[in-house]
Amino acid sequence: MWIYEKKLEYPVRIKNPNPRMAKYIITQYGGPDGELAASLRYLSQRYHMPIPEAKAVLNDIGTEESEP
């Protein structure tokens, strides 16, 4: 599936903060159509699936969706 390492792939240095861009990014992650909402929908639907293979697929999609 995927391996989690708690380090950035590329170093980030913020010289000039941009509040407008930060607002767009937060909306993408936390808005109703954002990545977090999609991930949580997949992960919550797996509990209502009667077929084990379907549960596994929803679990895989939900965890990959939350991967940045």
The answer to whether the CB of 65 falls within 8 A of the CB of 42 is yes
Cβ–Cβ contacts within 10 Å for residue 61, how many? 17
Comparing 11-15, 17-21, 23-27, 60-64, the range with the smallest average pLDDT is 23-27
25 Cβ contact partners less than 8 Å away, ≥ 6 residues apart: none
Which position has the higher pLDDT, 21 or 8? 21
Structure tokens at 17: 């903060």
The answer to whether the CB of 45 falls within 8 A of the CB of 60 is no
Residue listed under structure tokens 């929803």:
58
Predicted pLDDT at 66: 67
Predicted pLDDT at 19: 92
